[in-house]
């Protein structure tokens, strides 16, 4: 899309709306909210912090933050975070396997070219580098606190620990807070080449953004993530507590078991049939870890073979084919129909059974990815792990609301439409997320969630609707199998007009030889 004509239009519209926006626009610096690959390390020094006291306040503010990108196209999901005074914007990978939040700094000597400009501490009036002290690792000169993180895929990040004002976006009730983050001086591997600016660390540890906010008493000890479905992307994130939802299933998560968010996985079922596996297989090394920064799922070899063989047994009509990349021995099958919505007609459901007997149903989109070269072909998104840890990446929880209830040492799972969830969260007085399908109470399972229609835009409190602007967008494609994500276009227009995403809605879209859509700005 050509941005230049749109930017000219933006200037004209902003002049027209100047009285309204000056009076009612959210001030990011004064009233902002809060919207993260797996690195094995030793347990944080303050393990006792994991057993947090119950906060006296029950109505602490939440931060509603939108998720961007697509899990398989990008390998991660990002959210927006603002650092400094005045605020500087960054796109950060949401990562429950990392404890440090960091961005490239203007002083970085070996940082890649990313989505946004480097952080310039010299332009922030609230910036402060942390001085060397007994509670941190110090640089060679003994003057500043430093950090270094190395990841399983051989990338690394290092820099100076700093403190500044961090803001979370206009949909958040949570005001900007001073927090410690990493000001990068060097990055290698995937961190150097990725488009995202850095990492938002949601793991357990004193440097985690979650731990810092909980320690300040400004939010409760819980957060939630919801990743969009196959070929949809996007989603939502909530920092703070949300009300338990009917149909949500839970697993115990032992903070002393490992420094990561683990679940009590005991058994796997394929097409309703239990696999003959010793439950101890899911408890090796770090146990079964849920990591939002990992793309696929990795099981110990014995469990992987059992799952693979059971799935193959259920799809005799499909043909085994080579994967899209010759460098990898992917397990792929053709003949499953050209429409993603049909994939559940060919592949079985997989159930994860927890120690409490509850089961989380994985629909095909939770363990498959689409073949990029053969239409109607799909590949297993699960792989054998080289050690005994069971690592569950984002693919397992697509279109699943995952609540990390750290206060009560449990994780909750609810199948829902995550792209639609963001629109409901952004709307004022929106209801709590619910599963759009009935639940099987006897077996404590969650069934797959169908796609839902577009939600109408909601009026924002304190904003008067004085008119509307309609854009008609026509997109021509040579490849008829590709489907444009029109909701992202509406978000782009909202961003250019400096209004909230909830004020831009999709009126109608239809497909012909030239698919079209209209976005209405309210």
Q: Is 291 a catalytic residue?
A: yes
187 touches 155 (CB < 8 A): yes
Would you state the structure tokens that stand for residue 159, as one six-digit string? 């820099």
| Residue 144 per-residue DSSP state | B
Residue 134 CB contacts under 8 Å (≥ 6 apart), including other chains:
none
Q: Strand pairing partners for 186? A: 110, 158
Q: Could you report how far apart the first and last alpha carbons of the chain are, in Å?
A: 22
Is the Cα dihedral 8, 12, 17, 23 positive or negative? positive
- Alpha-helical regions (H) of 321-476: 418-426
Cβ-count burial 418-437 (b if 16+ within 10 Å, e if not):
bbbbbbbbbbeeeeebebbe
User: Before 8, cis peptide (omega within 30)?
Assistant: no
3-state secondary structure of 281: helix
User: Rounded to an integer, what is the distance from CA 408 to the centroid of its chain?
Assistant: 22
How do beta strands 359-362 and 350-354 pair? antiparallel
Residue 246 CB contacts under 8 Å (≥ 6 apart), including other chains: 434, 435, 439
Rounded CA-CA distance 238/220 in Å is: 11
Q: Structure tokens of 476? A: 């021509």
Burial group, residue 499, by CB count within 10 angstroms (0-12, 13-18, 19+): buried
Out of 264, 291, 385, 420, which one is annotated catalytic?
291
As a residue count, the chain comes to 522
Whose tokens are 């498959």? That residue is 368
d(CA 55, CA 192): 39
Q: Which residue, 364, 348, 374, 426, is CA-closest to 398?
A: 364
Catalytic residue among 95, 405, 420, 491: 95
Integer CA distances (angstroms), 106 to 121, 184, 200, 292, 473, in order:
8, 9, 19, 28, 38
Q: What are the C-alpha distances in Å from 345 to residues 191, 232, 376?
A: 38, 19, 12
Burial class (CB in 10 A: 0-12, 13-18, 19+), 239: buried
Contact 33, 64 (CB under 8 A): yes
Q: How remote is the C-alpha of 62 from its chain's centroid?
A: 17
Indicate which residues carry an active-site annotation: 95, 291
């Amino acid at each position: 899309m050509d941005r230049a004509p749109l930017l000219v239009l933006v200037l004209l519209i902003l002049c027209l709306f100047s009285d309204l926006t000056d009076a009612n626009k959210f001030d990011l610096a004064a009233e902002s909210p809060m919207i993260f690959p797996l690195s094995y390390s030793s347990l944080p020094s303050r393990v006792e912090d994991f057993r947090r006291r119950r906060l006296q306040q029950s109505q602490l503010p939440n931060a509603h933050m939108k998720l961007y990108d697509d899990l398989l196209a990008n390998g991660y999901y990002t959210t927006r975070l603002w650092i400094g005074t005045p605020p500087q914007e960054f796109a950060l990978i949401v990562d429950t396997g990392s404890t440090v939040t960091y961005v490239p700094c203007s002083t970085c000597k070996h940082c890649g070219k990313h989505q946004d400009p480097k952080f310039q501490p010299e332009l922030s009036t609230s910036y402060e580098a942390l001085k060397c002290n007994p509670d941190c690792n110090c640089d060679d000169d003994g003057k500043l606190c430093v950090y270094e993180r190395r990841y399983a895929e051989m990338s690394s990040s290092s820099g100076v620990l700093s403190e500044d004002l961090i803001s979370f976006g206009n949909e958040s009730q949570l005001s900007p807070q001073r927090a410690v983050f990493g000001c990068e001086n060097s990055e290698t591997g995937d961190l150097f080449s990725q488009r995202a600016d850095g990492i938002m660390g949601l793991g357990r540890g004193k440097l985690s953004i979650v731990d810092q906010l909980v320690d300040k008493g400004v939010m409760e000890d819980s957060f939630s993530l919801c990743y969009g479905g196959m070929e949809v992307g996007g989603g939502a994130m909530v920092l703070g507590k949300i009300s338990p939802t009917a149909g949500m299933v839970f697993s115990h998560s032992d903070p002393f078991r490992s420094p990561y968010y683990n679940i009590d996985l005991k058994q796997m079922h394929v097409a309703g049939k239990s696999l003959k596996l010793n439950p101890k297989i899911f408890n090796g090394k770090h146990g079964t870890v849920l990591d939002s920064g990992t793309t696929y799922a990795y099981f110990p070899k014995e469990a992987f073979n059992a799952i693979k063989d059971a799935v193959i047994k259920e799809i005799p009509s499909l043909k085994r084919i080579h994967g899209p990349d010759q460098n990898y021995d992917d397990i792929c099958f053709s003949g499953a129909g050209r429409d993603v919505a049909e994939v559940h007609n060919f592949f079985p459901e997989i159930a994860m059974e927890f120690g409490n007997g509850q089961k989380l149903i994985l629909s095909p989109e939770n363990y498959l990815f689409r073949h990029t070269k053969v239409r109607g072909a799909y590949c297993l998104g699960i792989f054998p792990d080289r050690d005994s840890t069971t690592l569950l990446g984002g693919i397992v929880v697509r279109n699943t609301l995952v609540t990390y209830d750290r206060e009560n040492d449990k994780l909750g799972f609810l199948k829902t439409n995550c792209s639609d969830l963001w629109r409901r969260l952004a709307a004022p007085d929106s209801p709590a997320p619910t599963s759009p399908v009935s639940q099987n109470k006897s077996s404590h399972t969650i069934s797959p969630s169908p796609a839902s229609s577009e939600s109408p835009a909601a009026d924002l409190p304190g904003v008067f609707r004085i008119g509307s602007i309609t854009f008609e967008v026509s997109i021509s494609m040579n490849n008829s199998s590709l489907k444009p994500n029109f909701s992202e276009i509406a978000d782009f227009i909202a961003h250019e007009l400096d209004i909230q995403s909830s004020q831009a809605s999709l009126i109608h879209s239809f497909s012909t030889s030239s698919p079209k859509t209209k976005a209405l700005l309210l």
